[in-house]
Amino acid sequence: MTRLLPGTRGPAFVLPRRAMTRRDGGFTIVEMLIGMIFIGLLFALFATVVASALRHGDEVEKETTLQVEARAAVDGLAAELRQAYTGDEATAPIEALSGNTLTFLSPDRQEPFHLRRISYRLQSGQLQRALATSTDTDGPPWNIPALGPWHTQVSSVVNTTLFVFYDENGAVTANPAAVRTVDIVVTVATDTSPDRRYTYRTSVSLRTPLES
């Protein structure tokens, strides 16, 4: 069915009713579906970004904690080793050594002091420490019991050689009585970012030179 437009006289100006009908406001189902898909994609993208940011933040926190622990472990070991002493200049303060173990004698801070046997080792990627304190203060000879339990100072250690020992001429030595300087190196990395490594190193000169 058609109708004449106002001001027209003949069928040449007749338009279909469909063309004359004004479209009501709103969206078609197809447009709504397209919009929903687009919004879903935006939400998926947002969720991915948020998840990535959370993972990155967690990794940064782990790395920061690990770095603090490694630095504290190296500083603590170095401080104890700098005070290595037996009370007898004829006795070497270092008792046993290797690339990943170190046992030495060092006084505590009491007066009169007790002598401590302090031992470090690398065990399954963990730098561990054990301690035994003398029961007397009038040595030598000192009465030192067996080492106590091992406590982890820092985990996620990735290097296998922590200690290098040098004699008075600067040559590498494996003789405890000849050691004058100890290089300490600890490298750590998290399990989730094994290629991102952090190394802490220091060099310690023994307090009391001894004759080898």
What does the alpha-carbon distance between residue 116 and residue 95 come to, in Å, rounded to a whole number?
12
For 168-195, write each residue's pLDDT tens digit.
Answer: 999 999 999 999 999 999 999 998 888 9
Structure tokens given for 50: 């948020």
pLDDT at 104: 97
Is 95 a domain residue? yes
Structural domain contains residue 50: no
State how far the Cα of 59 lies from the Cα of 207, in Å rounded to an integer. 40
Dihedral sign from CA coordinates of 87, 91, 96, 98: positive
Least confident of 41-50, 64-73, 130-139, 197-206: 41-50
Kindly indicate the confidence band of residue 210, based on its pLDDT and cuts at 50, 70 and 90: very low
Q: Tell me whether residue 12 is in a domain.
A: no
Does 171 reside within a domain? yes
pLDDT at 23: 53
For residue 183, being part of any structural domain is answered with yes
**Does 29 reside within a domain?**
no
Number of domains making up the chain = 1
Establish if 102 belongs to a structural domain.
Answer: yes
Domain that holds residue 157: 55-205
Structure confidence at residue 14 (pLDDT): 52
**Domain-embedded: residue 73:** yes
Q: Among 100, 98, 126, 103, which residue's Cα sits nearest to residue 115?
A: 103
3-state helix, strand, coil in the chain (%, to 5): 30, 25, 40
- What does pLDDT average to over the chain? 84
Mean pLDDT of all residues in 13-39: 66
